[in-house]
Amino acid sequence: MPQVDAIVALWGVKPGPGADLDQNAALGLAAMELGRALGAKKVLHASSAAVYQPGPVPLHEEASLIPPSGYGAAKVAMEAKIARWQADNPGGPDSVLMRIGNVAGADSLFANLGRGARIRLDRFPDGTAPRRSYIAPQDLAAAILALVGSDLTGPVNVCAPMATGMDQIALAAGAEIDWVPAPDSALPVVQLDCSRLQSIHEFPQDSAKAAYLVNAARATGVWP
């Protein structure tokens, strides 16, 4: 293969029956080795917002990594092993750890949506539904291109600038909502601070609006 400028490693193992989540670290290291072999300047890795301990304030890249799930822990381990690889291989490619939020059309909410669908959503005492950081698949692709051409390295949150209400997404998709009282453990908002990404990439004005996300997911031809 010819020399390349960058490797974009979107491979990974997601949760599921029989899934070996430890392979995420092995795949991260394989991408670094491939980058070194092909003379790449940087390798972009698909990490996840799951590395963070959710909280009430926007999560910055410097926030403590206390993942509440095995998947998040596997991505933290991947990031740590990539850092050790770089320390042991001076002169090798830089790494970008893309901590990606919910991708419209590919998360658990969208998996249960569709015209005429009925879904259950938590309702908090103030009448709101959960709000989460989303990104349209087309905006994810544009952000990746921006990161390839930038000088940013290290962890980068990848999501739209604002969180989006799950009820708004459901209604935009034509679904009916059955409300249930939110348990005490539920979090009203999980939002990533994407200011690092915004320093090199400008999002469309409506990038966090529910209708935009639903239409973008449908435009892929994969969902629903």
- Does residue 92 sit within a domain? yes
- Does residue 190 sit within a domain? no
User: In a 10 Å sphere around its CB, with 0-12 CB exposed, 13-18 middle and 19+ buried, how is residue 151 labelled?
Assistant: exposed
Give the pLDDT score at 112.
Answer: 93
Give the pLDDT score at 55.
Answer: 82
Give the pLDDT score at 103.
Answer: 97
Q: Which two tokens stand for residue 22?
A: 């430890």
- Does residue 18 sit within a domain? yes
Q: How many angstroms from the chain centroid is the CA of residue 115?
A: 25
What is the mean pLDDT, run by run of 10 residues, along the chain of 224 residues? 92 94 98 96 97 91 94 98 97 97 96 88 96 98 98 98 97 95 92 97 98 97 90
CATH number, position 10: 3.40.50.720
For residue 41, how many C-alpha atoms fall within 13 Å in the half-sphere facing its CB? 8
- Does residue 221 sit within a domain? no
Range of the domain at 74: 1-100
- Does residue 112 sit within a domain? no
Alpha-carbon torsion angle 49, 52, 57, 61, nearest 10:
-80
As a whole number of Å, the end-to-end CA separation of the chain is: 37
- Does residue 165 sit within a domain? no
- Does residue 199 sit within a domain? no
Distance CA(43)–CA(7), nearest Å, equals 5
Q: Which residues partner with 6 through β-bridges?
A: 42
Give the pLDDT score at 64.
Answer: 92
- Does residue 176 sit within a domain? no
pTM (predicted TM-score)? 0.95
Count of domains in the chain?
1
Give the pLDDT score at 183.
Answer: 95
Give the pLDDT score at 116.
Answer: 79
